[in-house]
Amino acid sequence: MATVVLGICGSIAAYKAADVASRLTKAGHEVHCVCTPTALRFVTPLTLMTLSRHPVISSFEEETTDWVPTHIALAQKADVLAVAPASAHSIACFAQGFAPNVLTSLYLANRAPVIIFPAMNTLMWEHPATQQNVQTLLKRGDRIVGPAEEGELACGTCGKGRLVDVATIVSHIQQVV
């Protein structure tokens, strides 16, 4: 089976990444979760590690087990990099080549296919800067799936911005690998 690097960004939808990791692991894939620091405010490393059966990487300070930094080793090993949920901040970092954390650094070192599953407030999604960043990523060959067309968001507004459902995320990842 495939090696899936599952990037998880700071969003209320981060809890769904646990289900994604679980389903992919049960399907026989090797899943490695890489979290932004803000993702850990929404989901715990213990949950992700238990469901993926691998340690969670979330900071450069954790990269002390081998002479090759973990984010580089995972980038070289990945068959796919899937980011679910992807925040506006991480999408901007990917598009502009900024690497303030382990996930964005891994993105720059990665050569495997990338699938980005956005999740954010409708106004943030519709902002011209976000749309320009999405277009930049699409031109590079990254895939963007979502956000869901309509629905109530955690902030109480209705509109486009919700993370697509877990089954859709898993299906898109499995199609790539």
Residue 82 in contact with residue 169, Cβ under 8 Å? yes
Catalytic one among 33, 35, 155, 158? 155
Q: Annotated catalytic, 35?
A: no
Dihedral sign of CA atoms 20, 23, 28, 33 in order = positive
User: How many CA atoms are closer than 13 Å to the CA of 64, on its beta-carbon side?
Assistant: 3
Strands 80-86 and 30-35: unpaired
The catalytic residues are: 155
